[in-house]
Structure 1
Amino acid sequence: MLKFIVLADIHIVPAGRLSNGLETTSRLNAAIDFVNETHADADFVVFAGDLADRGEPEAYARFEAAVERLTLPRYLTLGNHDHRPTFLQHFGADHASETGNVDHVIDIKGHRVIVLDSSDPAAGGSGLLERTQLDWLQARLDEAGDRPVIIVLHHNITRFHTQNDFIILRDCAEFAGIVASHPDIRQVISGHVHMTVAGTYKGVPFCTLAGCHYSIEPTLESRSGPLPAPVARREGPGELAVVLSDADATVVHMEKFLDRHVVMPQEHFVRA
């Protein structure tokens, strides 16, 4: 049985600052304590992007210091809040694949897990897999043969009919076409939207986890209208994904390491 953990939307800030009113390093520490105490039998942890809130060097240093307490191997990738050059300068160029992005292949227990860097900070929140990454992904899927494949990336791969649909993965149809070419795609797991959602897109099964930062009320556009109509954001729950997979099935449990649901003041979401 393959077992791994996905954490997303960490949003670490330099010491003395808050991210949207939240002390995110303490939330990361709570997640790490939960994993160490509850899931020490897992094979590894994937941190699926938005490691830093604004990509600052000090934030990556605080993130690194916190995850050193994790007792499991870990794989990192980036989201729209990250800054790839700063990340690679801090963690080392060996964290990038031949694509130049923070992509990984993990072959373990008869599975292939592919971790993709969908960061494109210049795009205002939406995600991007560059041409080299899509070609790389196709090659890694072809290599996998008939092994089950699980993909982890930061951005969600289809519209959810909510206010944040404008920040999904761009060229998602091409991505789905490549993924669907593999005979045993088990899941595409993302963070980014701060909501728990599951479904299929062009035959590809996906799910998203709410993550370590604030959670968004999944208010449909039919009720809320388009942006900038405010929707409720809550302090929690802090959520991680526990992935269990064998030859026959893949199951993703969304578990809470924090259990707060207080609605947060809207003024916490006005960027300077």
Structure 2
Amino acid sequence: MPVTLAPATSRRRFLAQSAAAVCFGWSSRFLGAQSTAGAGDVWALFSDTHIDADPLAVSRGVTMTANLRSCVAEVLSRTERPSGLILSGDCAHLKGMKADYQTLKPLLQPLVEAKLPVHLLMGNHDDRVAVTEVLDRPTSPAVPSRFVSVQETPHANWFLLDSLDKVNATPGVLGAEQLAWLGKELDARPDKPAVIVVHHNILLQEVKTDALMDSAALLEVLRPRKQVKACIYGHTHRWSITQDETGLHFINLPPVAYVFKQEFPNGWVLATLRPDAIQLELRALDANHPQHGEIKTLKWRV
């Protein structure tokens, strides 16, 4: 995967429709129905939930489970519910403990019961072994020891990557094998916009030791392939949007959990895919935050 929640009754159909995906299935009482894999243009984007084994745990003045519960409730309260949800990593608090994911599971259950597919990426505070102990083990991974998938929708394809290198160590790495897989999968889908989702922030020029260490190699894959329109990531706990000289958009999601600087919003983003653009609406947890409800429309490069 990423960890994709899909119903036991439609698991075979889901795998057939998402040939590139490696999925984990929860037991049927935790799973919702997914009528069409990746169908629809409206998606909820979450990042950095940092759920602790203790549901009352507080970090930087924030109760993480309360924040996630609020964001999930808002997604479900919308008149037009999203077609699915992508959580771009750091699902767990610090060390990706098995108990962290056991606390996370029921927090996501309302989404599953509402029949929304949920895709969980791995961040540097996650642990692949622990998450597979709480869920099921992967079958036929597209990239050995990594959780990756392609989710196809009418207006764009989501490419979900795995940048976890070492648990509870800040830097991230994709690795040559995953980059080769990504290039191959992009080349197999040249005619539809591609949106990349990964946990670690992508460096355009500067070199930092707390980001995606093979950013340059990733950009060598993405920039020449003009169907790639945007890269979405979390990790920095800072909502921002930039664009490079090739027209590629870089979208840094806000955290569901805590921020590192109080002036930044936490919350989630509602993404609407269009043939020529993506529309992003910030849903801040603090409705009085000056950026709450702001809408940005990013036109695709040609």
TM-score range, shorter chain: 0.7 to 0.9
Deviations 1:208-237 (A, max 9, x none): 022112223xxxxxxxxxxxxxxxx33973
Offset at residue 166 of structure 1 (A): 3.0
Mapped partners of 2:285, 2:185: distance in 1? 33
TM-score by length of 1: 0.81
Of 193, 210, 217, 1:167 maps to 210
Q: 2:51 aligned with 1:12, yes or no?
A: yes
Mapped partners of 1:151, 1:172: distance in 2? 13
Q: 2:234 aligned with 1:194, yes or no?
A: no
Q: What residue identity is the alignment partner of 2:128?
A: R
Of 144, 152, 169, 1:107 maps to 152
Mapped partners of 1:49, 1:30: distance in 2? 18
Mapped partners of 2:50, 2:140: distance in 1? 21
1:106-145 alignment, distance < 5 Å? 106-121=151-166, 124-145=169-190
4+ runs deviating over 6 angstroms: none
Report if aligned partners of 1:236, 1:258 keep a CA contact under 8 Å in 2. no
Tell me the SS of whatever aligns to 2:62: coil
Report if aligned partners of 1:9, 1:212 keep a CA contact under 8 Å in 2. yes
Mapped partners of 1:21, 1:96: distance in 2? 41
Alpha-carbon RMSD across the aligned residues, in angstroms, is 2.4
Report if aligned partners of 1:34, 1:257 keep a CA contact under 8 Å in 2. no
Report if aligned partners of 2:253, 2:268 keep a CA contact under 8 Å in 1. yes
Q: 2:198 aligned with 1:153, yes or no?
A: yes
Q: What residue identity is the alignment partner of 2:43?
A: F
Look up the match of 2:225. Answer: 182
Of 49, 53, 57, 2:89 maps to 49
Look up the match of 1:67. Answer: 108
Tell me the SS of whatever aligns to 1:215: coil
Tell me the SS of whatever aligns to 2:212: coil
Look up the match of 1:24. Answer: 64
Structure 1: gaps (5+ residues):
217-232, 262-272
Report if aligned partners of 1:97, 1:104 keep a CA contact under 8 Å in 2. no
Q: 2:236 aligned with 1:208, yes or no?
A: no
TM-score by length of 2: 0.74
Tell me the SS of whatever aligns to 1:181: coil
Look up the match of 1:3. Answer: 42
Offset at residue 244 of structure 1 (A): 1.3
Offset at residue 160 of structure 1 (A): 9.1
Mapped partners of 1:252, 1:106: distance in 2? 19
Look up the match of 1:219. Answer: none
Structure 1 range deviating more: 199-208 or 82-91? 199-208
Tell me the SS of whatever aligns to 2:125: coil
Q: What residue identity is the alignment partner of 1:143?
A: A
Report if aligned partners of 1:146, 1:183 keep a CA contact under 8 Å in 2. no
Which has a greater percent of helix? 1
Mapped partners of 2:126, 2:46: distance in 1? 15
How many residue pairs were aligned? 243
Deviations 1:240-261 (A, max 9, x none): 1221112121222222133487
Mapped partners of 2:254, 2:52: distance in 1? 19
Mapped partners of 1:67, 1:160: distance in 2? 37
Structure 2: gaps (5+ residues):
1-39, 290-302
Look up the match of 1:255. Answer: 283
